[in-house]
Structure 1
Amino acid sequence: MLTLAAWLKQAQQQFAVLSQTPDIDARLCLCHVLQVSNSYLYSYPERQLTASELSLLDDIVSKRLQGQPLAYLFGYWHFFDLRLAVSPSTLIPRPDTEILVEQALSLMLPRQAKVLDLGTGTGAIALALAHNRPDWQLTAVDYIADAVALAEHNRSALKLDNCRVLQSNWFSELGGQRFDLIVSNPPYIDPIDPHLAALTFEPLSALTAADQGLADIKHIVSIAGRYLNPDGWLWLEHGYDQADAVRLLLQQAGFDQVCSKRDYGDNWRISGGYWRG
């Protein structure tokens, strides 16, 4: 039998071949299997693992070493203090996307603002906003039926009644509705980008876009003004090297106060602008 401390040391060495955070990955695995908090691992390092626990951990480690993301192996991931169910039909919520949520929460919007999240996936952005702003009314849309079902599952599990989830190809099912804020984390990776090799388990449709990754961003920017109230905002996540191009698109579409914000890795990650109407 292995103690928690011994298993952690072993797993960290195994994960080091494919992860920049092997210690975190190993601790997440233990917390998942034991259904405990990280503090428990520090408090009881000499606690011995049972045979069934070791079997579950061995299975997770084996699949992780084949490249499968922990989020898919667990069936859930955390985003902005929310636990969200995930599946291979959607992207795994990433910490850098929390920058988009933080920016949205910092805006001076009406108390009962209407907010649209385009390409919602798991619902991460919309549900984080709905959770932190109970008076806001969120609309979350996605083109993929499985993603819509997953986002609705997460919405229901979190009991966020100020959010609705719809199937829509970007704006196609929104009619004449208008919003005070539109946010989106659309596909923005160039299909020939070598970084895609590390993302083989996530759906390409949620990752890549034509025109050097800018096709969907161009579409959203060109149409967003029709769905924004006067004094509304549009904020988009994009690639680390796309900020200049996205700011230019926003300016050409008539947005003011156009700017970009950096992510936790100090890369330009989101850009947005103000719509006078």
Structure 2
Amino acid sequence: MKVADILEVDGCRMVEPSFAELSEDFCTALLLRARPDEARLLVDEEEEPLALALHDGLNGWQAVSFLFRDPTLAAIECFEAVGGEIYQESREAWLSAVREYYSLDICATVHPALEDLRPDREGKIRDLLDEVWGDRAGTCCLDCCCGSGVGTAALRAGGVRALAYDNDPGLLALGLSRGRLAPEDTMCIDAQEASCYIAPVPLGAAFMAGEIYSYNASLWEGIITGLLNLTGEALITVGTEAEAARVEGWCAGQGQDAGVFENRRDPIYDRWCCVTRRV
């Protein structure tokens, strides 16, 4: 469902410039510069505010989202002053609509990166997933640092719902344009900040995490530990045995039961695998 459909308006612009900026308080103040003649407050199942939409003759409908920040008193007072209407929707439905809004914005404004997918890689990942997890159809899995979405496509082919995130809009644009990434389940965010935008789910994956060197190890440790904190089980693939050993150490440091094995299906991208489970 689209943002505009949920708010029952003919077109609506989100004031926040990007999905990652949905946590920024200043965006609410930007909306309140309008001189509204109509207002709509969206609330969730618990009647907690999800979004505020204002209409004026110059800008039409504009909205801010309260998914990742609290509404301000000024926003509520503005709504009441206009005599606005209250709408209700589930938090998950609104979150999906907002993810779709910003994914489609990436498609419209960002030139896709060059195709980076080897024709056989998705199938090899699918085989790897079958070996590690078996049939997990219907389960939700995070695809951390998803790139152009080859891992997401493999997960979806097995009936798994993949929530994908990466901070490279060009790669996301490529994956969205190829249909590997689902707009309603894709986010352009810093993987180190994933817990600000994502609730814990059963499974997590990071395909071809790295290349991991001593100078960027702290960055990757933050990304991997962030993924572990959001998931019960995780599969992390890297190119070398040394990288896998480093990842295994990070997992053990988080109290995870971790093991490493060699994946001979792919000698380049997913050669070494670390499988972890929270204990």
User: What is the TM-score with the length of structure 2 in the denominator?
Assistant: 0.48
Structure (1 or 2) with the greater strand fraction:
2
User: What is the TM-score with the length of structure 1 in the denominator?
Assistant: 0.49
